[in-house]
């Protein structure tokens, strides 16, 4: 979708992210129910606080869409956005899921509402990932950070960047 010289690319969920999120939320709800009906009073409240903090924290990081225009790429999340000016981008390309294989999650989520947070592996080094579909990955490298994003129609995003960059 294009508005005011800004093109939007939604971050659609893969079947894997949908499944992991659904199963995790179901397990959390069932666990909370059993602890609430059978557990100690302090454990009940502690578990509810931990579950709510986890869901709210991860939901806040969840990517909604990527935008390109006005000489920058934006990743829009439920809480805040990340903007990368074109002039800072050293490399932008599509990458296969295998490039993120064997990554160590340093902080974040490994499937709940997406693959979100700080990761490290031998191929990419340290990187920040906001991906909801591992089959549509985009690598963006700047002089200070490496990002891995995903979005629907990633090839059109890459083409749009290349045409805006010229």
What pLDDT score does 166 carry? Answer: 59
What pLDDT score does 104 carry? Answer: 95
52 Cβ contact partners less than 8 Å away, ≥ 6 residues apart = none
- What distance, in Å, lies between the first and last C-alpha atoms of the chain? 21
pTM for this structure? 0.87
Structure tokens, 101: 């294989």
Give me the phi and psi of 95, to 5 degrees please: -130, 150
Q: Which residues of the chain have pLDDT under 50?
A: none
Q: How far apart are CA 127 and CA 139, in angstroms?
A: 9
If DSSP codes are grouped into helix, strand and coil, which group holds residue 95?
Answer: strand
């Amino acid at each position: 979708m294009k508005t005011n010289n800004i093109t939007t690319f939604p971050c659609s969920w893969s079947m894997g992210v949908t499944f992991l999120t659904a199963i995790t939320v179901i397990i959390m709800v069932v666990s909370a129910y059993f602890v609430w009906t059978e557990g100690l009073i302090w454990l009940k409240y502690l578990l509810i606080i931990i579950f709510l903090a986890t869901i709210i924290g991860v939901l806040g990081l969840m990517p909604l869409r990527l935008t390109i225009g006005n000489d920058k790429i934006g990743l829009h999340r439920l809480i805040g956005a990340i903007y990368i000016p074109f002039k800072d981008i050293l490399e932008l390309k599509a990458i296969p899921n295998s490039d993120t294989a064997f990554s160590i999650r340093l902080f974040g989520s490994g499937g709940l509402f997406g693959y979100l947070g700080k990761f490290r592996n031998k191929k990419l080094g340290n990187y920040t990932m906001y991906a909801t579909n591992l089959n549509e990955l985009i690598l963006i490298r700047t002089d200070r950070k490496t990002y891995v994003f995903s979005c629907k129609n990633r090839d059109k995003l890459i083409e749009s960047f290349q045409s805006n960059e010229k």
